Amino acid sequence: MIALTTRIPKPTLERLPLYHRAVESYLAKDQEAISSQELGREIGVDDYQVRKDLSWLGAGGRPGYGYEARHLLERFEEVLGLKRDHTAVVIGAGHLGTALSHYSGFRRYGLRILALFDRDPNKVGKQLGDIPILDIGELGSIIKEQHVPLAIITVPAPEAQRVVNLAVEAGIKAIWNFAPASIQVPPEIIVRNEDLAVGLATLSHYIVYGRPSD
Amino acid sequence: MIALTTRIPKPTLERLPLYHRAVESYLAKDQEAISSQELGREIGVDDYQVRKDLSWLGAGGRPGYGYEARHLLERFEEVLGLKRDHTAVVIGAGHLGTALSHYSGFRRYGLRILALFDRDPNKVGKQLGDIPILDIGELGSIIKEQHVPLAIITVPAPEAQRVVNLAVEAGIKAIWNFAPASIQVPPEIIVRNEDLAVGLATLSHYIVYGRPSD
């Protein structure tokens, strides 16, 4: 096994979860070998790009056979950090924050939500299952004491930057932003903006103009 | 202007909302011309792919100048159907369904949620702002009578297939599936699975191994 490098290019990294999902579905159908052409069709890149992407993981296919699905799956899990547990806080105990705290799709990625934070005194002090809702004033100390790496932002857009600043000051490493607002952070902080409107835009085209050719 | 074709390849179409967002941000900074290299960097493909993608829209760049941002924006809005209003129903009036019904990021895409559907008698009959919560038994007649093209699925995973079947029988054109479940539909139905775990997988890598090079 090669040493894991942090030099995987961002576009490649963003495709890894898609490869991961595709390989999982092949394995679910008991397909043990996958060609770069098949993988490329699944995620919409050509087979040259697939081979280039997978070479970053030290995964090599065999001519006439393809990639071993199980080996690929292991490499994805390692590179995507899926075998480790992660903790996170959710900022904003509204509907989206509550929904994400319950989202069962996160479990297989080992994500554990430690707490929700809100400023509404009617919410603070309550529990959401086994997750406490805490006052936003406690955010900094919880992030610091528990070394929480990830903050999930679900506050209304005008409040997003303020709570992001609080999390950054407390030493957060990564921000997952669901607020439809663009946020500014120091360069060392990782940000992922989850723009649900992107999915809608694609569907919108299909609805208006019909299904595209694949 | 060329006639709009339905032959835009799916991978290209999936990149259009990303181009759209990038062009919007350039225009917000008063940048009138954008090169294919700049666009490619933003969304993680090479400049050859950018030129190929944009040629599907009949958008041509000028050597030494690039693409006209305003023209590109118009083409994206047209091709993505962003200038038309869409109606949708949300199935599942839980936290995620409620959150999506309120999500302000959808407004600029002209999405109008007609109703939420649930089977819980404690929810049915209530209003969410101006959106009524109706009994799931009424789903078919609403989709048929109002010609609703899009159903957003936010029910728990084990119930997803059943409500999708109801929507399909009623003549829905597209399904936006937020349930962490894979669903089966006839080939003419458009499906987009919104796997929030994909975002988490990418962040997970960054947190474990540090930020990748761009």
Residue A23 has pLDDT above 80, yes or no: yes
Residues in Cβ contact with B125 at an 8 Å cutoff, skipping those fewer than 6 apart: B132, B133
What local confidence, expressed as pLDDT, does residue B34 receive?
94
Quick one: which H or E segment has residue A196?
helix A196-209
- Please give the structure tokens belonging to residue A77: 């899990």
pLDDT of residue B63: 84
Both tokens of B179, joined, read 């349930």
- Interface contact flag, A196 B80, Cβ < 8 Å: no
Tokens of A53: 């992407």
Confidence label for A3 from pLDDT (cuts 50, 70 and 90)? very low
Write out residues 123-142 of A within 8 Å (CB-CB) of B: none
Q: Residue B40: closest CA among chain A residues belongs to which residue?
A: A11
Portion of chain B with pLDDT greater than 90, in percent:
47
- DSSP, collapsed to helix, strand or coil, labels residue A164 as helix
Contacts of A214 in chain B (CB under 8 A): 9-10
> H or E element: which one contains A166?
helix A157-169
The b/e string for B101-137 (b: 16+ C-beta within 10 A; e otherwise) is: bbbebbeebebebbbbbbeeeebbeeebeebbbbebe
Reported as type and span, the H/E element at residue A19 is: helix A10-28
Q: How confident is the model at residue B211 (pLDDT cuts 50, 70, 90)?
A: low
The C-alpha of A58 sits at a distance from chain B's nearest C-alpha, in angstroms, of 16
Residue with the larger pLDDT of the pair B174 and A21: B174
Q: What is the pLDDT of residues B53-87, one digit of tens each?
A: 999 988 888 888 899 999 999 999 888 877 777 89
Instruction: Say yes or no for a CB contact (<8 Å) between B44 and A198.
Output: no
ipTM over 0.85: no
How big is chain B, counted in residues? 214
CA angle A154, A88, A11 (to 5 degrees): 80
* pLDDT given at position A129: 87
Please name the residues in contact with B74: beta carbons below 8 A apart, sequence gap of 6 or more.
none
- Residue A42, number of CB atoms within 10 A of its CB: 17
State pLDDT tens for residues A139-181: 999 999 999 999 999 998 889 999 999 999 999 999 999 987 7
Number of other residues whose CB lies within 10 A of the CB of residue A38: 16
Q: A92-109, pLDDT tens digit by residue?
A: 999 889 988 887 667 667
Q: What is the mean pLDDT of residues B21-39?
A: 90
Chain centroid offset of residue B92 CA: 18
- State pLDDT tens for residues A65-86: 899 999 999 999 888 877 777 8
Averaged pLDDT, B117-135: 95
Domains and their CATH numbers in chain A:
5-79 (1.10.10.10), 86-199 (3.40.50.720)
- Nearest Cα neighbor of B114 from B94, B82, B86 is B86
d(Cα B205, Cα B119) in Å, to the nearest integer? 39
Which one of A178, A204, A214 makes the best mutation probe of the B interface by having the most chain B beta carbons within 10 Å?
A: A204
Q: Are A63 and A109 in contact (CB under 8 A)?
A: no
Chain B residues within an 8 Å CB radius of A156: 104
The three-state DSSP-derived secondary structure of chain B is CCCCCCCCCHHHHHHHHHHHHHHHHHHHCCCCEECHHHHHHHHCCCHHHHHHHHHCCCCCCECCCEEEHHHHHHHHHHHCCCCCCEEEEEECCCHHHHHHHHCHHHHHHCEEEEEEEECCCCCCCCEECCEEEEEHHHHHHHHHHHCCCEEEECCCHHHHHHHHHHHHHCCCCEEEECCCCCCCCCCCCEEEECCHHHHHHHHHHHHHHCCCCC
Residue B18 pLDDT level (bands cut at 50, 70, 90): confident
State whether A44 and B109 contact (CB < 8 Å): no
Which of A45, A109, A149 lies at the smallest CB-CB distance from B201? A109
What tokens appear for A14 in the block?
């963003």
Q: Is B163 exposed, middle or buried (0-12, 13-18, 19+ CB in 10 A)?
A: buried
**Nearest by CB to A82, which of B195, B201, B210?**
B201
Residue B100 near chain A (CB below 8 Å):
yes
pTM equals 0.72
Check if B98 contacts A (Cβ < 8 Å): yes
Amino acid A121: pLDDT = 97
Q: How far apart are CA B106 and CA B64, in angstroms?
A: 36
| A4 DSSP assignment | P
CB proximity B195 to A under 8 Å: yes
Whether A131 has a pLDDT exceeding 90, the answer reads yes
Interface contact flag, B157 A104, Cβ < 8 Å = yes
- Pull the structure tokens for residue B122: 């404690």
Residue found by looking up tokens 């932003």 in the block: A177
Instruction: Provide the Cα torsion B115, B116, B122, B127; round to 10°.
Output: -40
CA neighbor of A92 nearest in space, from A179, A166, A174, A175:
A179
Cross-chain Cβ contact B103/A96 below 8 Å: yes
pLDDT band at A2 (very low <50, low <70, confident <90, very high): very low
Is A41 near chain B, with CB under 8 Å? no
Question: What's the mean pLDDT in B158-177?
Answer: 95
How many C-alpha atoms does B104 have within 13 Å on its Cβ side? 9
Q: Do B174 and A207 touch (CB under 8 A)?
A: yes
pLDDT at A63 over 90: no
Contact B214 A10 (CB under 8 A): yes
